[in-house]
Amino acid sequence: MFIATGLEYCYPKSQTLIYPEIMASTEEPLLVRGSSGCGKTSLLHLLAGLITPKAGSMYLNRQLFQPRTQAALIPQIPHLINSLTVAQNIATASWAANRTFDITSLTPSLLEVGIADLMQRKPAQLSRGQAQRVALVRALSIRPQLLLADEPTANLDDEAAFSAINLLLRQARSFASVLIVASHDGRITPFFKKNLSLSVAADSLARAKIE
């Protein structure tokens, strides 16, 4: 079980985001909904340890959560390194975490997402969907206890969107990762039993509804 309580983040010379309690588990992934600007991406960045909260605590299985070693983020834009092959791009997560990288351990995932035969390609040779799947496997390569996905179905048609979210849910289950997805795409709401809706007041993120 992942729990974050009292999280606050203050933008320089701007609004303060005040988040409600965040709860998710391997059995109950969480969908964070809301319009652009309500703080969804900032929340994921807080949970991933990319930015520092003004206040708040995070726990995983009743232990203090260590985002830099226990979380992985799949950004909306894959941010692949153009000079590296697909295999090398996947390995960057392990290198950053100072872990040994073993591509063979990822073979089932590579086959599942359909990129097993793309390992020697460069990012310029990939489609948008292929690049997104590389980013997914890159995140999974460090076997994160918390998997975060930012707008995973953005700009995808219905068929591609449903395929992407199903793939994300299956892979999270396969790796026993707690999954939190941030999206304003109403099409994927039925895939999640647990939803958190965020909205913005005049000067802070002040309202939230858990369903």
| φ/ψ of residue 117, rounded to 5 | -95, 15
DSSP state of 71: E
DSSP state of 28: S
pLDDT tens readout for residues 53-73: 999 999 999 999 999 889 999
The Cα 88–Cα 86 span in angstroms is 5
- Calculate mean pLDDT across residues 29-41: 89
Give the CATH H-level superfamily of domain 2-210.
P-loop containing nucleotide triphosphate hydrolases (3.40.50.300)
* More confident site: 12 or 81: 81
In degrees rounded to 5, what are phi and psi of residue 181? -115, 135
pTM (predicted TM-score): 0.89
Half-sphere exposure of 35 (CA within 13 A, CB side): 5
Provide the residue ranges of all domains of the chain, joining segments of one domain with +: 2-210
- pLDDT tens digits for 98-155? 888 888 888 888 898 889 999 999 999 999 889 988 999 999 999 999 999 999 988 7
At residue 202, does pLDDT exceed 80?
no
DSSP SS3 for 21 = coil
Instruction: For residue 29, give the nearest of 198, 204, 196, 153 by alpha carbon.
Output: 196
